[in-house]
Amino acid sequence: MRRSPIVCLAAFIALDAYAAGFGLKPGLWEVRVVKQVIDGADVSAQVAGATAQLQQLMANMPAEQRARIDAMLKDKGVSQGSDGNFRVCVSPEMAKLDKPIVDQDGHCQPLTIKHSGNKRTYEFNCTANGVTSSGKGEATVGDDLITTQTDATTKSASAGTHVMHNESEMKYLGPDCGDVKPSAVPKQ
């Protein structure tokens, strides 16, 4: 089965980036994919290639169209830097949450959360839009860097079963998000 790197990247942003939702300071964070494995195949290079293609596509768009897409992303609390990494603006309300955020819509809440020093571990199991997801993750929280590893299995009638492993880093860039709106606090 051929997997779209853009779909893989979207899955990463939807799951792994917000999985480190606890331990965040309010402000602008940069999210970088370190490694992504789907069904045993390392697709990290494909994700990087898709990101580069997306950057080129954006650069070649008419200025008005590019501005609309940038504005739409920023309205959702996300922007893409010139290096291809994504930036998210974390609101003070989101930073106060002491739990991982598995999805922005609140369909999937963590089952367990454990704190041990600077490590946070969690497990989740949920169904939304015909897709069942279950897994576990660990975040290591530093002052300005959070590293996250998440292992998940997704099942759906249309796409079958897939096993994913994501590793990411979130680096704190500062309290000022500029023109990127803060992320919304997920529904509870």
Per-residue pLDDT tens over the stretch 68-126: 887 877 776 677 776 767 888 888 887 777 665 555 565 666 668 888 988 988 888 88
- The whole-number pLDDT of residue 107 equals 63
Report residue 119 as tokens: 């490590």
- The whole-number pLDDT of residue 186 equals 58
Confidence check: pLDDT of 6 > 50 = no
Domain ranges of the chain: 5-174
81 Cβ contact partners less than 8 Å away, ≥ 6 residues apart? 30, 87
Is the CB of residue 109 less than 8 Å from the CB of residue 124? yes
Tell the burial category of 85 from Cβ atoms under 10 Å away from its Cβ (0-12, 13-18, 19+). middle
For residues 70 and 65, give the distance between their C-alpha atoms in angstroms, rounded to a whole number: 9
Confidence of residue 17 (pLDDT cuts 50, 70, 90): very low
What residue type is assigned to position 89 of the chain?
Answer: C
